[in-house]
Amino acid sequence: MTDAVVLFDFLPTANGRRFGVATLNAPAALNALSVDMVRLLTPKLREWAADPQVVGVLLQAAGEKAFCAGGDLRQLYRTLLDCGSAPNEKRNEYAERFFGEEYELDHLIHTFPKPFLCWGHGIVMGGGVGLMVGASHRVVTEGSRVAMPEINIGLYPDVGGSWFLRRTPGRTGLFLAFTAAQINGSDAIFAGLADVLVPQARKAQVLEAIGATAWSGNDRADRALLSRILATAAEGASRPLSKLREHYDTIESLMAGDDLLDIARRLRALQSDDAWLQGAAKAFAKGAPSSIALTWELWQRVPRMSLAEVFRLEYWASLGFCAHKDFAEGIRAVLVDKDRNPKWQPATLEEITLAFVEDHLKPRGEMAPELVPLR
């Protein structure tokens, strides 16, 4: 079925074992991750994890523009309008399923028991980063554009972002969360969000090498084999300069300290001849204050939490954003009306109260059943 939103196939290898191949197949929508995609991927990945003839997985995407530009938010937007976007209005059952099932899939990729290769060519943003970052082997290319742009739509870096951005060098992850800054493949490797840069033109070479290899079925040995294949394909490749590395000291100075308003003042006052840095500061100034405040609160809470605990915390946070106004307003401004002129409530970071932050993080109903057993 060529109209399926995920295509499944096998890549045969030298000794009769196989790599499972999953292809996101919505190129016209930049392969935005939908509930339908998640409901196809999760059971198939579980099936492949249990199949001794499947020794690894390749997750890729159709088209040349994007691996995955984020979550498919249009249906979610309709439910935000239907359920109301004020605290304590009726349950949003679609949002409960959307976030519960997406985070279950992300956790499954993080904990997958076999080599898992994600080919992150083109746009990799938001929910797309959530799919890529948990893979055991994360490939970026010269065309990769990676970002967590949730502050633009009144959300926060979810899909485990509270966990993996906390593990980037210094406070580069906090900077990426606050500024929605786009980074290239070299940046992604520096930040620990990817492992290796392989030119897109060499993808066929990688697939051929996987097919020509005799895989043992031993996870550790097979991961090492796959790493060698990717290292060989990356040899001699030209890599773009890393803005994160170049501006690391500046970023650390901007993001220093334990007072969010101090950080905000420094970002607002930033003047730089570098267009990338200046663009990041402008994005911060236009971003949703609620997104910034909640991102900061999660940054404080997660350092000693497990990945599973973070996904459960993010579940409450995401439902909290659905119950407040900014998420619907951000989707409207960026994806629906496209006027790029959201009216945030509260309008400034200084107006946000502790009670407002806590209301975003309180339990709403029961924990998603998909997330309860995660370890």
Q: Can 320 be counted among the known catalytic residues?
A: no
Q: Can 208 be counted among the known catalytic residues?
A: no
Q: Are strands 66-68 and 145-147 parallel, antiparallel or unpaired?
A: unpaired
Report the C-alpha gap between 101 and 79 in whole angstroms.
Answer: 17
Catalytic pick among 96, 158, 187, 326: 158
User: From its phi and psi, is residue 202 left (phi > 0), alpha (psi between -120 and 50) or beta?
Assistant: alpha
Catalytic pick among 127, 130, 185, 330: 127
Catalytic pick among 56, 71, 161, 287: 71
Q: Can 150 be counted among the known catalytic residues?
A: yes
Q: Can 130 be counted among the known catalytic residues?
A: no
**Which runs of consecutive H residues, i.e. helices, occur in the chain?**
35-50, 74-83, 93-110, 127-133, 161-164, 172-179, 185-190, 203-212, 219-234, 243-246, 248-254, 260-269, 275-286, 289-301, 307-323, 326-331, 354-361
**Cα dihedral value 173, 178, 183, 189, nearest 10:** 0
**Cα dihedral value 319, 355, 306, 176, nearest 10:** 80
Sign of the alpha-carbon dihedral angle for 256, 140, 104, 25? positive
Report the C-alpha gap between 155 and 76 in whole angstroms.
Answer: 13
How many other C-beta atoms are found inside a 10 Å radius of the C-beta of residue 84? Answer: 15
Amino acid at 347: A
Helix orientation angle between 93-110 and 35-50, rounded to the nearest 10 degrees: 30
Catalytic pick among 72, 104, 150, 314: 150
Active-site positions read 71, 127, 150, 158
